[in-house]
Structure 1
């Protein structure tokens, strides 16, 4: 179908295997620790992003 999103071949499965494949087969625990650090950083800035977005209310 036109405009239909398609998954990248081989891009399904456990996240640790997917990320490990991209960075040279890191152990699962290391992949999840790195993911936790990234997500913690994103979540830590949530209040600032929400405050900025609230400055532009939807009408």
Structure 2
């Protein structure tokens, strides 16, 4: 019973941490935008933005 409670608590904490990471994004690079950087809060393109990780989301 203790092991089950420990696992459930660990999954809950991991879920909260991952949710915090996802919701704290400032910019999103979506595959359908063809490399344009989008401001996650407004949904509008960001002018002059630089892509740090060019290989992320690229389909070959």
Pick 1 or 2: higher relative contact order, CA cutoff 8 A, min separation 6: 2
TM-score (norm 1): 0.39
Report the structure, 1 or 2, having the larger strand content: 2
TM-score (norm 2): 0.39
